[in-house]
A = this chain, B = another copy of it.
Amino acid sequence: MSRSNLDLVNECDGFPYHQVDAIAYAQHVATYYHFQVEGFECTIGYLLPSVAEVLRGLPNWELDDDERTITLIGCNNAPERTVAMTATAMAMKATGHFKVLEKWRNEQYGVYGPRQQLLFDLERSATPLFGLVTYGVHMNAYVKSKAGELKIWIPRRAKTKQTYGGMLDNAVAGGISSGEKPYECLVRESSEEASLQEDIVRKNVKAAGTVTYFYIRDERAGGETNLLQPECQYVYDLELPEDVIPKPNDDEVEQFYLWTVGEVRKALARGEFKPNCAMVMLDFFIRHGIITPENEDDYIEIVSRLHRRLEFPTL
């Protein structure tokens, strides 16, 4: 069944909007425990009740079942909170109940407060259990022929990859570790994932905004379903000379295709792209005048939905 561009957006940005359906939004929000940090007046993520239940009685956690809050307590600063969060995540892993923790990444993600201050670092694989905002970089690499035709480099993920195996991706994409700058993350990932030389990337790459959305995880993400994953992807464009060929550098990418816009659009409609990569591709098509108000009936909604304002503090 062919997917419209709005279908692709709905698949990735699945959390209801208060301003569109206040009742559905309120029902969703009332389901979850709101993650708060002692000393800060804001919610930084949503937890499923089944996850919050496991934290009941653990040190550093206070559940309020009436207010539906779960609060990290007894820590005075970011390093102390990081210790408490790490101990919590390791205790959760030790129960063996949480599939997402089986792929422990040994990579710390930063979680931020209302003034962009670091609240704590947390092991990457644990962030969806707490519904925390995570950050990444996504880059489209493309070629313009002398005749002006645009072709886009599209990698296919290895079929053996546990998450979204065999699906299509953006040329370069990766998560940003705590303290890492988006641009430096992008240069590093360009080498690691696509064998692109640092000097070529630095010379040609252009920052082009962000794509933000609120994803409800499904089985393709691996591990528990219905976990909440609000994300911010810093978006980059890289125009490459025709003789620079991205190549897989590890076993995560099967191969790179150089596709016309028409080929990419067909693959999008077939649902072959990893959901958030489809969002980044739509953003690329909109910024480059390929999707236009005249050829896309849902243009206004799609542009807004690609840039969701999240209800949690962000960097």
Contacts and interface: CB of A to CB of B under 8 A. Distances in A.
A182 B301 contact: no
A162 interface: no
Contact of A289 (B116, B208, B210, B288): B208
Contact of A311 (B19, B207, B315): B19
Interface in A287-309: 287-289, 292-294, 297, 299-301, 303-309
A234 interface: yes
A257 interface: no
A212 B300 contact: yes
B310 A307 contact: no
B19 A289 contact: no
A234 B299 CA distance: 10
A97 interface: no
A136 to B, nearest CB: 12
Nearest to A114: B20
Nearest to A186: B293
B308 A309 contact: yes
A63 to B, nearest CB: 22
A266 B104 CA distance: 48
Contacts of A210: 299-300, 303-304
Contacts of A20: 309, 311
Given A116-B297, A314-B301, A292 B207 contact: yes
Contacts of A310: 19, 304
Contacts of A301: 309, 314
Chain B CB within 10 Å, residue with most, of A18, A116, A181, A209:
A209
B116 A303 contact: no
A299 to B, nearest CB: 7
A314 to B, nearest CB: 5
Contacts of A181: 293-294
A186 B311 CA distance: 35
A210 B206 CA distance: 20
Contacts of A309: 17, 19-20, 301, 304-305, 308-309
A232 interface: yes
Contacts of A299: 210
A304 B233 CA distance: 12
Chain B CB within 10 Å, residue with most, of A19, A237, A300, A308:
A300
A183 interface: yes
Q: Which 7 A-B pairs give the minimum distances between C-beta atoms?
A: A19-B311, A206-B289, A307-B307, A304-B309, A207-B292, A207-B289, A18-B18
